[in-house]
A and B are shown apart, each in its own frame.
Chain A
């Protein structure tokens, strides 16, 4: 397994929008991201009583498609995600693991009855993808409201934080990435 981080779109997005996401995430993360085309059937993860999709099960399904040379994979979907005990989640990750999934469902202005704004959705999605990948690299929530690792429960929280790590989270992330690289080279 190498240190490639893959991003996969599990729903249909405009090619321009999808193409611009990976470079933005890579820039914030400080680690390259590669797009991979995979097909995951999400219908088995639908919960009709909630009209939502089970994030944990999608994540498990996604991990089965992690390419051999990949260290992590993040899936992006337009579906509304939940975990059993919570009403919804923007995304979910394996803490210190190999995968993450992010939903753009509640990151879009349209969900809140506002006019569509693709740039805004992109900015929010970059933050949430970086946030979930941060968890996959072992980072936990940060108390600094500007740090991308600050927990967000409303879309306003996502807008408030920046697409960057605070000093402490950056240092921890760099250390983890270096250690993982060193471990694999051995």
Chain B
């Protein structure tokens, strides 16, 4: 359990010393400050669980200091300490969000109860946040469907690696279920009672990614009105899932490498080193070896993250699993839409199995969702499936992969009247990737 931190602000040295000693004996990490200005400087080394503030001090008084601390850190419990009890100041302090108000000298039992109540409330709040994250994780996690040899091998790898604390890199095309595998590894690991914090490195601009990962102090940049914990800090005790690690900029690669080596970092605009005990799980659809060879991805970072790799097969290489997956999605959407579950007609099943699924499981899922929405028959029939499934089945063996991909993209764009966002969603790739492919194949929006 981490050591709780307390800041004691009082202009009397004897009060700082005796209260400090009392809290040290109680297992706290104690910092003291003789006035408001020094206290605000000490806040930089925070966060503090409790701040005990004397009401009357030369210079900045306790109420003003309380307001300033609240601007920096909303989570510290503030206790106002004074030699002169007055209802007005007590009410004002409490209105401004102080936890409580005590008069000097304090009965040790009152102080002990006050601290116990603060810690109990903070523990409950932290537990509440953890449980909410856990519930959201559980609701997001889906079972891994697949009985093919390749998927059985993946499941074996998950079981092997989950028991260790090693860094894992999950490799696979878009839509193969890399995040699902990451959550399964976390869910089977000893860290499962702590959160798994996911960050998609490919979808966030570099400057935002830095703040997202490392957090920031108040005033670190325009708009940073409050101190904010980053994903690395939030993953303390649990797992950090960095998706699309291959898309991380060279500068961010250096920052990440430093964190992975020391498990320590500083928030943006801060100077206090923070440690976080997390297990790293990465994923990418890129060929990391190639990126290292091309000098785009740092070799030292590559070796740091590539401790254990889990390659995920594309759906076309495990077509045995397609009927199982299709059945699973039919049942899932029937439940979600409040409809009766449907059988898949033999013709539709044959189409599903023979299609190459460049968007992998995500594309299959979208196709089944669409069929459940538009289908009027008691069974899913070929007419309920996207047109491209039939078009794609014409002599695929005689054509190159590029030609098939080009046709497929054109087909999907046509189906969605050139809407790139919708087409990208169906194809299971992001818009940027789709634009790149459209440029590569000379495809216009009117395709």
Contacts and interface: CB of A to CB of B under 8 A. Distances in A.
Contact of A153 (B24, B27, B104, B108): B108
Contact of A86 (B12, B22, B26): B22
A95 B23 CA distance: 11
B337 interface: no
B142 interface: no
B107 interface: yes
B63 to A, nearest CB: 20
A5 interface: no
B164 interface: no
Among A50, A83, A88, residue most surrounded by chain B Cβ atoms (within 10 Å) = A83
Contacts of B27: 140-141
A147 interface: no
Given A84-B15, A86-B18, A151-B112, A140 B104 contact: no
Which of B19, B21, B104 has the most CB atoms of chain A within a 10 A radius of its CB? B21
A89 interface: yes
A95 B112 contact: no
A140 B26 contact: yes
B31 to A, nearest CB: 15
A88 B108 contact: yes
Contacts of A84: 12, 14-15, 18, 104-105
B187 to A, nearest CB: 31
B105 A86 contact: yes
Contacts of A95: 21, 24-25
Nearest to A96: B24
A151 B17 CA distance: 19
A82 interface: yes
Contact of B112 (A83, A92, A153): A153
A186 B86 CA distance: 58
Interface residues of A, number: 19
A93 interface: yes
A85 interface: yes
Given A56-B14, A85-B15, A141-B26, A92 B21 contact: yes
Given A93-B25, A140-B27, A153-B112, A87 B18 contact: no
A108 interface: no
B109 to A, nearest CB: 4
B106 A85 contact: yes
A17 interface: no
B111 interface: yes
Contacts of B18: 56, 83-86
A75 to B, nearest CB: 16
A85 B21 contact: no
Interface in A85-126: 85-89, 92-93, 95
Most buried by B among A56, A88, A153: A153
A43 B21 CA distance: 24
Contacts of B26: 140-141, 151
Interface string A125-144: 00000000001000011000
B109 A85 contact: no
B445 to A, nearest CB: 66
Given A56-B18, A151-B112, A153-B112, A86 B107 contact: yes
A88 B108 CA distance: 7
A140 B25 contact: yes
B429 to A, nearest CB: 53
A154 interface: yes
B108 A56 contact: no
A112 to B, nearest CB: 15
B70 to A, nearest CB: 24
Nearest to B14: A84
A141 B18 CA distance: 16
Nearest to A149: B25
Given A56-B14, A56-B18, A86 B25 contact: no
A96 to B, nearest CB: 9
Contacts of A85: 14-15, 18-19, 22, 81, 104-106
Nearest to B8: A85
Most chain-A CB neighbours within 10 Å: which of B22, B25, B27, B104? Answer: B25
Interface string A45-64: 00000100000100000000
Interface in B94-124: 104-109, 111-112
Given A56-B17, A140-B27, A141-B27, A83 B22 contact: yes
Contact of A89 (B17, B104, B108): B108
Interface in A70-84: 82-84
A65 B55 CA distance: 38
Contacts of B17: 56
Interface string B21-52: 11011110000000000000000000000000
22 contacts: A56-B14, A83-B18, A83-B22, A84-B12, A84-B104, A85-B18, A86-B22, A86-B105, A86-B106, A86-B108, A86-B111, A87-B106, A87-B108, A89-B108, A92-B21, A93-B25, A95-B24, A95-B25, A140-B25, A140-B27, A153-B109, A154-B109
Interface of B: 12, 14-15, 17-19, 21-22, 24-27, 81, 104-109, 111-112
Given A84-B14, A86-B111, 10 more contacts: A56-B14, A84-B105, A85-B104, A85-B105, A85-B106, A87-B107, A87-B108, A89-B108, A95-B25, A153-B109
